[in-house]
Amino acid sequence: MIGELLDGRYRVLKLVKAEWVADPEMVIRFRREARATNRVQHPFVRAMSFES
């Protein structure tokens, strides 16, 4: 993960290995992780979004 300060706010980018994108199980795992992250309710945690 990479954190970068932009506009006074932190952004985090999770990089996925190219070979994992071709693996349906890894894609399912990543999406499950994104949904779990979005369920966290905390002032310092924001919803995760991703492009497929």
Domain spans of the chain, in order of start:
17-44
Q: Are 2 and 15 in contact (CB under 8 A)?
A: yes
Residues 6+ apart with CB under 8 A from 21: 27
Tell me how far apart the alpha carbons of residues 32 and 30 are, in angstroms, rounded to a whole number.
5
- Give per-residue pLDDT as tens, 1-52: 445 565 666 666 777 888 988 999 998 998 898 888 888 888 877 776 665 5
